Amino acid sequence: MVMQKHSRQGSTLYTYTSHMTINKQMEVVEWLKWYRLTINDIVSQRKAVVGTGYFDVLEADFYSAIQTAYYGPVIESMNLLPDRFEAEERSVYETTEVLHLVSGRDLFGMVCLVDRVPELSFNYKEKLTSSMSSTSMMSQSTQNSRICMNDKRDIRGGNSQIRVTDIKNHVADAYRDLELHVSGRVVAVATRIPPKSCSGETQNEDVEDCIQVFLTSDDDSMRSSQGLDRKVGSRVLLGTITGLGTSPEEGSCFVYNSNGSKTHVIMKHRTLLVKHMHWYRAGEEVSVCECRCSRARLPPSKFWLFEPRCGMHDIGGWYIETFGRDKKGRTVPSQRYWDGFDTTKQFEERLHPAMYLLALAYRTLDIEDTKIRKQTIWKFVEGKLFSILSLYKKFV
């Protein structure tokens, strides 16, 4: 993963580029190739309009509209998250990047599974800080690579194609630790405890799963090789989410602050071909939606008019909108501070954006797990039916 630094309108923007996707050929149906080639010429400004006539001006406006739709809105300042952006889901299981946070074609953040393979921090590149030798690290990495390469199966369903190496390992992803990266920093981390289980010093005797979200400091931006079990720097508990995975598909779960008081309700529901997650303030007679997340079902990326931004995140994702109140008390789109705490008066009522994004990543892993479970059962039944049919043909 390569991080690039750009300067835009006095602010600093960090974008990410993955070596695993640079050379991947995007798949496209034959009748859309000419369209994508034309779009590429327009957005790369290889097609320029010469002239001042009516149709020339109309064509120039059309090209400008295409470029705006392709690149999306400009990120004005990276001190604030955009009030609306996308979280693209992973389409291959091998990547640990569960969600890519993008505005148009700009990747400004991601939610990743915590890497369990020991790493060297950038302050101690010259020598190892642990007793594990480099040879053992290489052998462990080689073993992990072999696990990913052996017994691969393609599971196709609906819009996505996810390669699964081991169903047991995949199920564990829904309960692995997550990290939120924004603008080159690890902003927050989260751990999830299954119902009636114990994780480290935290015990969960409830019948619902429990997600704990922690805000990290600058010293905590270096990833720990032991995940959240090892304390690095200082962490601030932002809140706890209970029942996200154990509540019904169309139901609700609750958010508690660091003091254990219930502050928000998460509503999960569906409309035609769209999944929703809405966040509301608890304890109010009329509560305004604080964050709205929508996941529409899309056709395969080979039918998309625009080429996917990333080959490993080409199945669509969540559209995220955050709201606040203006001086007159009206509900309006609102940007959020991600680096530390918001100093405005509304902070006491609104959640840190890390709560939305990490919960959304766990919701994505739950949906991914459910899809693979269903298709695994179908493949098992299909295999049994094929065996019975083959046996029947032998006797007939």
What's the average pLDDT block by block, 10 residues per block, for the chain (396 residues)? Answer: 50 52 67 89 77 84 88 83 94 92 93 68 37 38 38 38 45 86 92 79 75 79 41 74 90 93 94 94 82 95 91 94 87 84 62 95 92 74 76 75
Residue 299 DSSP code: -
Assign 368 to helix, strand or coil. helix
Residue 92 DSSP code: S
Q: Residue 43 in contact with residue 108, Cβ under 8 Å?
A: no
- Give CA 71 to chain center in angstroms: 20
Backbone φ/ψ region at 272: left (φ over 0), alpha (ψ -120 to 50), beta: beta
Sign, Cα dihedral of 115, 171, 88, 81: negative
Q: Let me know if 5 is exposed, middle or buried by CB neighbors in 10 A (0-12, 13-18, 19+).
A: exposed
Residue 16 has what pLDDT? 60
What is the token pair recorded at 163? 């390669």
Can you give the length of the chain in residues?
396
Tokens 């994505």 identify what position? 364
What is the token pair recorded at 193? 């405890």
Tokens 């502050």 identify what position? 263
Q: Let me know if 288 is exposed, middle or buried by CB neighbors in 10 A (0-12, 13-18, 19+).
A: middle
Reported as type and span, the H/E element at residue 59 is: helix 54-71
Residue 328 has what pLDDT? 84
Of the candidates 27, 166, 165, 160, the residue with the CA atom closest to the CA atom of residue 91:
160
Burial call 28-44: b when 16+ CB within 10 Å, e when fewer:
beeeeeeeeeebeebbe
Longest dimension (CA), the chain: 81
Of the candidates 339, 311, 99, 320, the residue with the CA atom closest to the CA atom of residue 217:
339
Residue 169 has what pLDDT? 47
Tokens 């327009």 identify what position? 42
Assign 236 to helix, strand or coil. strand
For 259, residues 6+ apart whose C-beta sits below 8 A from its C-beta are: none
Residue 14 has what pLDDT? 56
Q: How far apart are CA 259 and CA 114, in angstroms?
A: 26
Residue 73 has what pLDDT? 84
Q: How far is CA 185 from CA 198, 217, 289, 352, 359, in A?
A: 29, 10, 28, 16, 19
Residue 1 has what pLDDT? 54
Query: pTM for this one?
Result: 0.75
